[in-house]
Amino acid sequence: MPKPGDKVRIKSTKGEFTGVLMPRPELLSDDVIVIKIKNGYNVGFDKKHVKKVELVEESKPSKPKPVEEVKHNPELPTVAILSTGGTISSRIDYTTGAVYADYSAKDFVAMCPELSDFANIKARKILSVMSEDVLPKDWLKMAKEIKKELAGCDGVVLTHGTDTLHFTSSALSFLLENLGKPVVVTGAQRSIDRGSSDAFMNLVCSVAAASKIKVGKVFACLHGTISDDFCLLINGVNVRKMHTSRRDTFRPINSAAFARVFPDGRIDVLSKDVFRGQEKRLSVAGLDVNVRLVYAYPGMPNKLDLKDVHGVVIAATALGHVPTANGFSLVPEIKKAVKKGIPVIITSQTLYGSTHPFVYSNLRKLSMDAKAIFVKDMLPEVAYTKLMYVLAKTKDLNKIKELMQKDLRGEISEREVPCDFMV
């Protein structure tokens, strides 16, 4: 009887299929057989449609080759790769048929030796978590580990799951104060044991950027097109995941990309901001995690859950609207929050374009009467992480307003540039 891992041929009423027999996932019934076919996808068969299962080849257990240390090249800069998990660090889980965070940072170097063409690589794992499970406390840990590595490196690459990568790149942008070297956050839409994986090019381009870009900023670096043309290097507070599965899902919002990075190491800088950050003493700031991100929508309750909350960010509609009439007005609740010393920040769920506190009378109600804080074209997720950062520094509403409306890391545009829309 074939066992999981064996290569089998299944003859069914729908045809003949060959692949690796997978253990039955817990979520499926006993009447289902699953194999992994040549293209890497799993195919399930109802046993009542299966005529025969033939053993083609027994599985042979193999020991992984030990990862060799790379010799130091004194002529190259040094880049640290810190692995946190996510799809870029995932392989097939043969217990469930899914993917799980498993590869360590050193494994990346062994599988992608061209990294050593650009830099001496230091690599280690600091977390092993899928990005949907990342918490604010993990951002603090990442920031502290990055600070530790930057003491002896020219740049850091952080591998991360893509689902919340833009939250992390934003949080790190604020947490790492007086940053004088590049920090590049990267990930992958497809796991590294799939032929169509984008992981290797994303990693190569990220290391190239971290070794060559002389700017003290946090960036995201991932595919710029669906092909393997180049990666976009984007300011960590201007980036967002815009598609569930495309390889070029990460796009710059309300801003142009900083640079195009090619897999051969060439860098086409698109920004004039090419100076190295001021060399001060790098420090890691704090976070007040008691912040809520609320989505405005028609018919939403006119109550905000303010229990144990120190700040609220509202992803409002268009220029910054929330319900203000028909018994669903949110204005009294915002007034109540502000009276309690809880700042309410207004962003736009359109993502592109700027909020405005005075264009319409309802906006004036929010900004002038309810004292909500409008933050121009700052993205909702960025406002969420920035407010955590600001609240860790002060609880004074006037100071909070001043800092939230001040451009600290490039999160607020000086002016709107038409060519930056939908790039």
Report the catalytic residues. Answer: 87, 162-163, 241
Whether 401 and 395 have beta carbons less than 8 Å apart is answered as no
Q: Quickly count: other Cβ atoms within 10 Å of residue 383's Cβ.
A: 26
Q: Where are the alpha helices (DSSP H) in 245-373?
A: 331-339, 361-364
Question: 3-state SS of 196-216?
Answer: CCCHHHHHHHHHHHHHHCCCC
The helix/strand count (H/E) of the chain reads as: 8, 23
Q: Quickly count: other Cβ atoms within 10 Å of residue 350's Cβ.
A: 14
Whether 296 and 323 have beta carbons less than 8 Å apart is answered as yes
Residue type, position 73, single letter: N
Chain centre to alpha carbon of residue 117: 26
Output the DSSP codes for 138-166. Answer: HHHHHHHHHHHHHTS-SEEEEE--STTHH
Q: Give the whole-angstrom CA distance, residue 357 versus residue 374.
A: 6
Strand bridging mode 250-252 / 42-46: unpaired
Helix, strand, or coil here: 329? Answer: coil
Whether 109 and 115 have beta carbons less than 8 Å apart is answered as yes
HSE, side-chain direction, 13 A CA sphere, residue 79: 32
Q: Give the whole-angstrom CA distance, residue 375 versus residue 280.
A: 28
Helix, strand, or coil here: 389? Answer: helix
